[in-house]
A and B are shown apart, each in its own frame.
Chain A
């Protein structure tokens, strides 16, 4: 295995010191001269016709600079299916529908103005369950599609379907079967920095927007389209991404508040900032989708899976975001986690009058793995096989092609399972009498990009200066996950400079090359692949130019050296003849001839060489641009086939829990997580990704749920919506990274941002079952649900 200089070494993040000093600037901290504050009036009904909006009192309030509604501003449509509007005109379809907005000189005035806006509604019957909304004859939430064609039902027109092998033969071959219906709640991403943006037009009507986004270049496209809708044809948007207070999928779509800020900025001719309060973030921002998954699996006497049948119903809410495409990811574990010869998968998305949903870390995978891995334990139980042995029997292998057509390169699942079993003392039963139990669950996820769009590419520009510094311009978003840390190390490693000479420039669509977005755990994989390509190009150019300039500069060095060291006799080495491009190397910012004697004068600082290249007749400055599109395919999701990623990440997590049968409380005693990461790029950053994801997985498993009644969010604050605190996370977490050194991965690495939360909930649920014999199929596994199930069990036994 290759020895790396910086990759895999404990290195602190380049952005950490400023963040520790409170000097990182988030949307919340940005100010522009003349800036106004925007605020939005949201709906008071989940489903109603809008009869009248009275903004007259708000307009008269001192300090208000603009009040907009759909009646006095251009119609701006947006969303994955363009079924959403910045401001709603005829009807509202959810409590958070935007009806009007205000720009004022301070936030308090903006808030006061919003309270003065009065809306008359004609309430319509609401649909809050997808199963209800699917029924024939249900009231329509959208009467027409985005083209104006009449609609006849509430199904979202997106198809996710897969059939492979022979399902009926698989069922016949099954000696044991297990079926279960599993559901997951809406949960909030809970970025600590709430959503917001700052929009400003120049006098040529071009827009600059500081946005909390993970897709600056797709956002540029969306916003340019909005400019056209506003009659500003051929105008451009510049998207600038400041420090982000977390992302977790919230930045994969453009949002109504952004279009509203744009409309307000254009109307007033002044910069307008909108920042959500925490209550607004909970009540008026899109959470993770809720879903119901019916799964049946069967296996033979030998424990080998013979079939898997999956039906998913997903509550889309009132409008369609990119997050609606969760089933595109769900079909990956459905078809490809463990070896299964025949698979049926179908997902239906349904419009309801609930809050519309969006992406969250894992993107359908935690939802599906929850069902699949819980059901794996159920089936193991039916077959009388130990759940660990059952998984090992069906374990994926390197170089296999799965039913969905995923071409597996490396696969460390077996090692992950073995590691968890070993560290959890799997075969040793938990102490009896204390209601303790152990459980495990695994995952597959995209680890080499994820093509859900025509391009899965990412660009990088490297610009060298006279001092040997490397300025990097990259389109990937640093949102806390540590992208800049691994990009810095990747550039330093591949180019041969010290990390402190690498500077990652702020993300700005006008200076950085295109990138599809920071999602699908692709950030580090893409960034480091571009780093290697760009570094190789620069090294080639540097070594080519060194043939002429290296001997000249070394000659000067030698003269100086002899002056300082009279009597020095240089070794017998013809550096003029040796100065051939293939014989040069660059390490730690120093250029030398590989087989030359180690004399101090016989190597050059990169800055020195770059100055020699620059300051001469017809001199040059070196820069390079690369664009990397990984070798994967855009699947046909209606047929459920295609190699979506160039490599896949695997992992297994194990939990040991103790259940208090009096209170229903689940205490996590310890967790073990083994992940196939390809190669560790930066140990502390990688650990942070897994620890953090695992904490989100624990919240998902045990208590997080955005509760709503008839579409209204009931717990829009951290008191009622509990996320893990340092107290809840007070148990040992044992991490182990399996390095499979993937050939597609930069330095061997795979993407790992999402996997850490994918199997957490089923691992805990399986441990709870092991402890008390109760299988909860509805997340979160709250104390109340456990107590209710224990009571039912007791009644059945009595």
Chain B
């Protein structure tokens, strides 16, 4: 069954017609060509497809597309700043070696953003808890946790 839905995508209102079985990740990757959101397992077990819906990090592979009506979705593409600049969190991942193959990176960054938006001063433990649903096979997480800590510090000093 096809449904027409409207939602806010990276700050702009969009309207799409979706089939009943479509998932949010399908809308993002296939209909909106936003391929920064990755599919790593399709079962909500790896976190590569993490996006932020109304302030909460969610697995877009488990999120039915027709439930996005009226909500606000932020993807990795929505973090980019004017003039081709990365956001502070993205830049921290670049600067502190938090990126290797990069496949988990967009999802990891979205989880980190959701954390820092709600808790600007997280402890190591809180960072690890917030990222536990995002699997990474390359880094061992050490530099990722470091990057999130640095980003938190930078975001705080900005305020």
Q: Are B102 and A15 in contact (CB under 8 A)?
A: yes
Q: Are A733 and B101 in contact (CB under 8 A)?
A: no
Q: Are A695 and B140 in contact (CB under 8 A)?
A: yes
- 0/1 per residue, B82-94, Cβ < 8 Å to A? 0000100011011
User: Quick check: is B54 within 8 A (CB to CB) of the other chain?
Assistant: no
User: Quick check: is A17 within 8 A (CB to CB) of the other chain?
Assistant: yes
In whole angstroms, how far apart are the Cα atoms of A386 and B140 in the complex? 31
Q: Which residues of A contact B106 (CB under 8 A)?
A: 20, 22
Q: Are A726 and B46 in contact (CB under 8 A)?
A: no
Q: Are A192 and B46 in contact (CB under 8 A)?
A: yes
In whole angstroms, how far apart are the Cα atoms of A22 and B104 in the complex? 10
Q: Give the Cβ gap from B99 to chain A, nearest Cβ, in Å.
A: 5
In whole angstroms, how far apart are the Cα atoms of A694 and B143 in the complex? 13
In whole angstroms, how far apart are the Cα atoms of A411 and B56 in the complex? 51
With known contacts A21-B86, A479-B101, A695-B141, A723–B135 Cβ distance under 8 A: yes
Candidates A246, A696, A725, A729; contact of B101 at CB < 8 Å: A246
Q: Which residues of B contact A81 (CB under 8 A)?
A: none
Q: Are A20 and B142 in contact (CB under 8 A)?
A: no
Q: Are B101 and A244 in contact (CB under 8 A)?
A: yes
Pick the interface stretch among A113-121, A522-530, A604-612, A681-689: A681-689
In whole angstroms, how far apart are the Cα atoms of A245 and B135 in the complex? 12
Q: Are A691 and B140 in contact (CB under 8 A)?
A: yes
Pick the interface stretch among A25-33, A219-227, A368-376, A742-750: A25-33
In whole angstroms, how far apart are the Cα atoms of A25 and B94 in the complex? 17
Q: Which residues of A contact B86 (CB under 8 A)?
A: 17, 20-21
Q: Are A20 and B99 in contact (CB under 8 A)?
A: yes
- 0/1 per residue, A233-247, Cβ < 8 Å to B? 000000000011111
In whole angstroms, how far apart are the Cα atoms of A96 and B4 in the complex? 41
**Cβ < 8 Å to B, chain A residues 714-739:** 717-719, 723-727, 729-730, 733
Q: Are A729 and B124 in contact (CB under 8 A)?
A: no
Q: Which residues of A contact B99 (CB under 8 A)?
A: 13, 15-16, 19-20
Residue of B at shortest CB range from A24? B102
With known contacts A26-B103, A688-B139, A21–B80 Cβ distance under 8 A: yes
**Cβ < 8 Å to B, chain A residues 19-54:** 19-26, 28-29
User: Quick check: is B57 within 8 A (CB to CB) of the other chain?
Assistant: no
Q: Are A192 and B140 in contact (CB under 8 A)?
A: no
Q: Are B137 and A692 in contact (CB under 8 A)?
A: yes
User: Quick check: is B116 within 8 A (CB to CB) of the other chain?
Assistant: no
Candidates A21, A28, A190; contact of B76 at CB < 8 Å: A21
Q: Give the Cβ gap from B3 to chain A, nearest Cβ, in Å.
A: 18
Q: Give the Cβ gap from A704 to chain B, nearest Cβ, in Å.
A: 11
Of B77, B80, B138, chain A has the most CB atoms within 10 Å of the CB of: B138
Q: Give the Cβ gap from B73 to chain A, nearest Cβ, in Å.
A: 14
With known contacts A20-B99, A21-B86, A725-B135, A28–B46 Cβ distance under 8 A: no
Q: Are B48 and A192 in contact (CB under 8 A)?
A: yes
Q: Are B137 and A248 in contact (CB under 8 A)?
A: yes
User: Quick check: is B100 within 8 A (CB to CB) of the other chain?
Assistant: yes
Q: Which residues of B contact A691 (CB under 8 A)?
A: 139-143
Q: Are B135 and A717 in contact (CB under 8 A)?
A: no
Q: Give the Cβ gap from A721 to chain B, nearest Cβ, in Å.
A: 10
Q: Are A193 and B38 in contact (CB under 8 A)?
A: yes
Q: Are B46 and A730 in contact (CB under 8 A)?
A: no
Q: Give the Cβ gap from A693 to chain B, nearest Cβ, in Å.
A: 8
Candidates A20, A28, A693, A727; contact of B90 at CB < 8 Å: A20
Q: Give the Cβ gap from B52 to chain A, nearest Cβ, in Å.
A: 13
With known contacts A191-B137, A192-B136, A694-B140, A20–B93 Cβ distance under 8 A: yes
User: Quick check: is A144 within 8 A (CB to CB) of the other chain?
Assistant: no
Q: Are B101 and A191 in contact (CB under 8 A)?
A: yes
Q: Are A192 and B137 in contact (CB under 8 A)?
A: yes
User: Quick check: is B70 within 8 A (CB to CB) of the other chain?
Assistant: no
User: Quick check: is B58 within 8 A (CB to CB) of the other chain?
Assistant: no
Candidates A19, A246, A733; contact of B137 at CB < 8 Å: A246
In whole angstroms, how far apart are the Cα atoms of A719 and B75 in the complex? 25
Q: Which residues of B contact A22 (CB under 8 A)?
A: 34-37, 75-77, 105-106
Of the four ranges (under 10, 10 to 19, 20 to 34, 35 or more), the interface on chain B belongs to 35 or more
User: Quick check: is B129 within 8 A (CB to CB) of the other chain?
Assistant: yes
Q: Give the Cβ gap from A148 to chain B, nearest Cβ, in Å.
A: 41
Q: Which residues of B contact A723 (CB under 8 A)?
A: 135, 137
User: Quick check: is A551 within 8 A (CB to CB) of the other chain?
Assistant: no
In whole angstroms, how far apart are the Cα atoms of A725 and B127 in the complex? 12
Number of A residues contacting the other chain (C-beta, 8 Å)? 55
Candidates A16, A25, A194, A246; contact of B138 at CB < 8 Å: A246
In whole angstroms, how far apart are the Cα atoms of A194 and B49 in the complex? 14
Q: Which residues of B contact A17 (CB under 8 A)?
A: 86, 90, 94
In whole angstroms, how far apart are the Cα atoms of A118 and B34 in the complex? 37
Candidates A13, A193, A696; contact of B103 at CB < 8 Å: A193
Q: Give the Cβ gap from B75 to chain A, nearest Cβ, in Å.
A: 7
Q: Which residues of A contact B137 (CB under 8 A)?
A: 189-192, 246, 248, 692, 696, 723
Candidates B41, B77, B80, B143; contact of A717 at CB < 8 Å: B41
In whole angstroms, how far apart are the Cα atoms of A18 and B86 in the complex? 9
User: Quick check: is A278 within 8 A (CB to CB) of the other chain?
Assistant: yes
Q: Are A718 and B41 in contact (CB under 8 A)?
A: yes
User: Quick check: is B42 within 8 A (CB to CB) of the other chain?
Assistant: yes
Q: Give the Cβ gap from B140 to chain A, nearest Cβ, in Å.
A: 4
User: Quick check: is B43 within 8 A (CB to CB) of the other chain?
Assistant: yes
With known contacts A193-B40, A248-B137, A20–B143 Cβ distance under 8 A: no
Q: Are B97 and A20 in contact (CB under 8 A)?
A: no
Q: Which residues of A contact B42 (CB under 8 A)?
A: 277-278
In whole angstroms, how far apart are the Cα atoms of A30 and B105 in the complex? 18
User: Quick check: is B24 within 8 A (CB to CB) of the other chain?
Assistant: no
User: Quick check: is A481 within 8 A (CB to CB) of the other chain?
Assistant: yes
- 0/1 per residue, A173-210, Cβ < 8 Å to B? 00000000000000001111110000000000000000
Of B94, B97, B109, B124, chain A has the most CB atoms within 10 Å of the CB of: B97
In whole angstroms, how far apart are the Cα atoms of A729 and B101 in the complex? 19
Candidates A245, A480, A717; contact of B45 at CB < 8 Å: A717
Of B43, B76, B139, chain A has the most CB atoms within 10 Å of the CB of: B139
In whole angstroms, how far apart are the Cα atoms of A114 and B41 in the complex? 20
Q: Which residues of B contact A277 (CB under 8 A)?
A: 42
Q: Which residues of A contact B138 (CB under 8 A)?
A: 192, 246, 480-481, 688, 692
In whole angstroms, how far apart are the Cα atoms of A401 and B30 in the complex? 58
Residue of A at shortest CB range from B95? A12
User: Quick check: is B128 within 8 A (CB to CB) of the other chain?
Assistant: yes
User: Quick check: is A364 within 8 A (CB to CB) of the other chain?
Assistant: no
**Cβ < 8 Å to A, chain B residues 104-141:** 104-106, 109, 124-125, 127-129, 131-141
Q: Which residues of A contact B97 (CB under 8 A)?
A: 12-13, 684-685, 687-688
Q: Are A20 and B101 in contact (CB under 8 A)?
A: no
User: Quick check: is A482 within 8 A (CB to CB) of the other chain?
Assistant: yes
Q: Are A192 and B143 in contact (CB under 8 A)?
A: no
Residue of B at shortest CB range from A479? B101
User: Quick check: is B145 within 8 A (CB to CB) of the other chain?
Assistant: yes
Q: Which residues of B contact A26 (CB under 8 A)?
A: 38, 103
In whole angstroms, how far apart are the Cα atoms of A164 and B64 in the complex? 65
Q: Are A28 and B38 in contact (CB under 8 A)?
A: yes
Q: Are A726 and B35 in contact (CB under 8 A)?
A: no
- 0/1 per residue, B139-155, Cβ < 8 Å to A? 11111110000000000
Q: Are B41 and A278 in contact (CB under 8 A)?
A: yes
Q: Which 10 pairs between the two chains have the least Cβ-Cβ distance? A: A22-B36, A480-B101, A19-B102, A684-B97, A245-B103, A695-B140, A691-B140, A22-B76, A718-B45, A480-B100
Given A20-B99, A192-B136, 6 other A-B residues pairs in contact with their CB atoms under 8 A: A12-B94, A19-B105, A28-B35, A693-B140, A695-B140, A717-B41
B-to-A contact residues, CB < 8 Å? 34-43, 45-46, 48, 75-77, 79-80, 86, 90-91, 93-97, 99-106, 109, 124-125, 127-129, 131-145
Q: List 8 A-B contacts (CB under 8 A).
A: A21-B86, A22-B75, A29-B35, A192-B104, A243-B102, A245-B40, A692-B139, A726-B145
A-to-B contact residues, CB < 8 Å? 12-13, 15-26, 28-29, 189-194, 243-248, 277-278, 479-482, 684-685, 687-688, 691-696, 717-719, 723-727, 729-730, 733
